[in-house]
Structure 1
């Protein structure tokens, strides 16, 4: 009798241990009889099914579990019976989902069934966290982490699907290539945090211009690509490109800054322009660069001539690396007219590149490449030395002129920039007052850099400081007072809007007058660039602007022609000076 008692107690302990083990398992355990009626449910099973063990006992397993496989309902009882019939363990394929009774909470599961002597047991693992992590990794692999847009890999897949659809339904696709104009200047002057926010807002605006069936992706850096599907005409794609360009024209409000951001857009059409994905992307890229050369912030459809006219970015950069050593750079000078004295008192130095194959290349086509690389530093030093040497020659000819030179952000923040400029001036025997450094307003509002200290070093050399493109939205008016500047150069768009018969001229004229008045109050001179008509010149004279330059007065010319313009000073008297 005692022996039987000990045997029963041992069996009970083993049963308790088995039950404790089942409760401790990191899975839901559901035991059924051979008819699929629930006889056991552990605590995880209670949590996943939404039933207490007592309530589940005696129910069919199909009533306990609402399981779906790839969106199709699965009969759990049928699964258990199939397991018993086969007398083998069965496992569900990936993608199974359980909807918990009571609150319909979705739980991603992986389950298996195993036959037993008097029934079967089902194990369900909650894999929601794992599948969520997999989904996040999948998203990261196919999307840009900053903007959340598809990346190039994902775009390639969408492009392939789009072409397959276009072939079946005989419709068109449009590929748009977008590049943010002068984005590097924003990064250099305001920092990468502001630049990142510009990219996010840029992506948002572009997405608002397209349909759900279209795709906007980030190509990399400040380049984006857009796939427009199910188009009936090529003009449909061109209209969307124009719509995007307009949407980007409104100022970007990033914190305390109001930034003027624009993008050049190239358009290529499938299958009209090409039926190969890579070739179509290349042609949209060519069209974008053609748009940028024509007028920044505009869009342009690919044309066959662009293939031969365009010289690739990579080849230009390669050629630029040897251009300085081969003495292919030259400086031309655009005369600046003193509007009170009606004579040339200064010039603006503008670089040209005598390319052996392309001929005379304008700055718009190569300066961005220089500024993206460290090449701008040695080339910038050459510009300074050449301009100072030319200033020296004009002094010797008895025609002293103030030479204005542009400084990029990379140059401005170069270590020992003021000391290097001082050495150039000293070697040439030229006073610093003969040189005016033009620095974009956006560069001077970077609070992470000691801009004022750098400007004061230039001032100690006697150089004049000009704040360029003032009024562009990147710098508030109080910056005029903050920095030790001598000259304000008005943003060209304000000059463009000075039209006598334009309905908006009064408002724009008021802006120019306000800048002139404020600058004069602070004892600063005002320069207007981009003067192209007699009407603009007359209005600037009436507003008491100090200096002007532009095509109406003269294009940029070689140094010898500047000397001729000075000698023919009477030519300036024939210009229209009155409103």
Structure 2
């Protein structure tokens, strides 16, 4: 520094120095030689500026260029750089390289329903849990939203990948409390492995993403390895999503109505509205195919609102036609329950159709209620205030607890069809049904057994004390016109169908 100042007459640069209190700071120094009358240096001008704050801002800008601002994890740019270097190293050392894609189940519902503050804190917790399962040489990056990518080096066989993905799923699925909200989230993972599933970053990332969507299609908390057929599956799924959006615009959807009957008298006490889709090119599309696509694509909210409005319109149409008031149950998704204003949607549908809200029943699965029990309880309280009946569908297949069942404002338990089928085959299935009936009586809830297909099943359920039955034995889901035709055929000329009382 001083030698340069003597030789060149000037020096400037940045130097780390220490303050009187021992703290480090970055200074910019400039030293200028000042000549005297004889031309020789008479003295030096020494200028110091503290640039610590400016330096920290520059470092922060550089950091944010390659890291996620919320979690501090590498972002897409840094991930792609490490992935390129990882592929080069793996090729040179003849090793495998694993790329895992994962996202969170039900994150959008939590983020929209509880606010971004809760969502952000949840993402930071998930990021910490993922890092806690990785080695120093591995990388976890956040691409945005609830999408994370894990890059792992040097794992030798499929068993090692399975073990790591199992640990990640278990860690993420542990309950977390955020701002007094107790949340249960899960994850779905897909993995692509270099060199067998791709030999460049773009291919590996695309294939890991496809594997993740295959895992999501298989159910919550799953992982899948990439397979060649997944590319075609992704094309089919995208085409189905496009067709479903078109179906909403062009009126290809309809509701079919399946009766629910009193177990002892056989009297119809209401109907369940089940969505059906007929596409001119595809024919009848199974709900098992299009409902998961609707959930993944975010269309499920639109489908739910349409279903509520259509059911309310049909109830009104039956009343005008002289068939009396009919009670109809509509299935509601998790997104409808916790993201939006379900009570408001029901109120609007009933007002527009001109029907009492008491004629609407909503059905939700156990998993929908248990994932966010506090938020579900608040949303259902608002629904109940309208006079709407609330039923838990497929009861027994989830993980309801007695504590939450007592807290939730529910009226009906619907026994899953799998237990009804088992009841005819062995005593174990019947024992489960009896247990549900005892539980329902204790909590003052009504019970509907679904999937009743034989007289033997119906007899067993009646003997056990089940109040209401539903299934093919009593009627398949049918369009409204066929339901009306059955009513008309069963009535004397000029008579009207007795309406189901609103209670």
**TM-score, with structure 1 as normaliser:** 0.63
Match of 2:350 among 392, 400, 421: 421
Q: Structure 1 residue 134: deviation in Å?
A: 2.0
Partner of 1:437: 362
CA contact (8 A) 1:266 1:301 kept: yes
Query: 2 CA distance for matches of 1:249 and 1:556?
Result: 38
Change (3 A) 1:406 1:282: same
| Matched ranges for 1:482-493 at <5 A | 483=409, 485-488=410-413
Question: Are 1:523 and 2:413 counterparts?
Answer: no
Q: 3-state DSSP class of the match of 2:136?
A: coil
Query: 1 CA distance for matches of 2:219 and 2:82?
Result: 31
| Matched ranges for 1:89-128 at <5 A | 89-92=10-13, 96-98=15-17, 103=22, 105-116=23-34, 117-118=41-42, 120-128=44-52
Partner of 1:329: 253
CA deviations over 1:28-64 (Å, ceiling 9, x no partner): xxxxxxxxxxxxxxxxxxxxxxxxxxxxxxxxxxxxx
Query: 1 CA distance for matches of 2:240 and 2:229?
Result: 19
Change (3 A) 1:293 1:486: same
Q: Structure 1 residue 302: deviation in Å?
A: 1.0
| Matched ranges for 1:253-402 at <5 A | 253-311=177-235, 316-331=240-255, 348-354=272-278, 360-361=285-286, 362-369=289-296, 371=298, 375-376=302-303, 379-381=306-308, 383-385=310-312, 388=315
Query: 1 CA distance for matches of 2:203 and 2:349?
Result: 46
Question: Are 1:87 and 2:8 counterparts?
Answer: yes
Change (3 A) 1:136 1:422: same
Q: Structure 1 residue 133: deviation in Å?
A: 2.0
Q: 3-state DSSP class of the match of 2:102?
A: strand
Q: Structure 1 residue 272: deviation in Å?
A: 1.3
Partner of 1:71: none
CA contact (8 A) 1:260 1:474 kept: no
Change (3 A) 1:411 1:169: same
| Matched ranges for 1:491-530 at <5 A | 513=435, 519-526=440-447
Q: Structure 1 residue 125: deviation in Å?
A: 3.0
Query: 2 CA distance for matches of 1:475 and 1:421?
Result: 33
Q: Structure 1 residue 113: deviation in Å?
A: 2.9
Q: Which moved more, 1:268-277 or 1:156-165?
A: 156-165
Q: Structure 1 residue 148: deviation in Å?
A: 2.6
| Matched ranges for 1:441-452 at <5 A | 441=369, 445-446=374-375, 452=381
Query: 1 CA distance for matches of 2:304 and 2:282?
Result: 24
Partner of 2:108: 184
Q: 3-state DSSP class of the match of 1:231?
A: coil
CA contact (8 A) 2:416 2:451 kept: no
Partner of 2:332: 406
Query: 2 CA distance for matches of 1:107 and 1:537?
Result: 82
Q: Structure 1 residue 341: deviation in Å?
A: 7.7
How many residues get paired? 462
Q: 3-state DSSP class of the match of 2:98?
A: strand
| Matched ranges for 1:46-61 at <5 A | none
Q: Structure 1 residue 149: deviation in Å?
A: 2.2
Q: 3-state DSSP class of the match of 1:232?
A: coil
Change (3 A) 1:290 1:102: closer
Query: 2 CA distance for matches of 1:406 and 1:554?
Result: 24
CA contact (8 A) 1:260 1:473 kept: no
CA contact (8 A) 2:294 2:300 kept: no
Q: Which moved more, 1:186-195 or 1:218-227?
A: 186-195
Change (3 A) 1:538 1:352: same
Q: Structure 1 residue 129: deviation in Å?
A: 1.9
CA deviations over 1:357-391 (Å, ceiling 9, x no partner): 66625244322156468634653345525874898
Q: Structure 1 residue 304: deviation in Å?
A: 0.7
CA deviations over 1:510-536 (Å, ceiling 9, x no partner): 9x95x865653443224577999xxx9
Question: Are 1:141 and 2:65 counterparts?
Answer: yes
CA contact (8 A) 1:405 1:435 kept: no
Q: Structure 1 residue 259: deviation in Å?
A: 3.1
Query: 1 CA distance for matches of 2:432 and 2:413?
Result: 16
Question: Are 1:465 and 2:394 counterparts?
Answer: no
Higher relative contact order (CA 8 A, sep 6+): 2
| Matched ranges for 1:178-257 at <5 A | 178-257=102-181
Query: 1 CA distance for matches of 2:458 and 2:61?
Result: 60
| Matched ranges for 1:539-550 at <5 A | none
Query: 2 CA distance for matches of 1:328 and 1:432?
Result: 26
Structure 2: 5+ residue stretches without partners: 35-40, 487-503
Partner of 2:403: 477
Query: 2 CA distance for matches of 1:278 and 1:301?
Result: 17
**TM-score, with structure 2 as normaliser:** 0.72
CA contact (8 A) 1:388 1:425 kept: no
Q: 3-state DSSP class of the match of 2:173?
A: coil
Q: Structure 1 residue 139: deviation in Å?
A: 2.8
Q: Structure 1 residue 303: deviation in Å?
A: 0.7
CA deviations over 1:74-126 (Å, ceiling 9, x no partner): xxxxx202321x2331223x6x43356994x4332333332241454544433
Change (3 A) 1:310 1:425: farther
Change (3 A) 1:344 1:385: closer
CA contact (8 A) 1:438 1:466 kept: yes
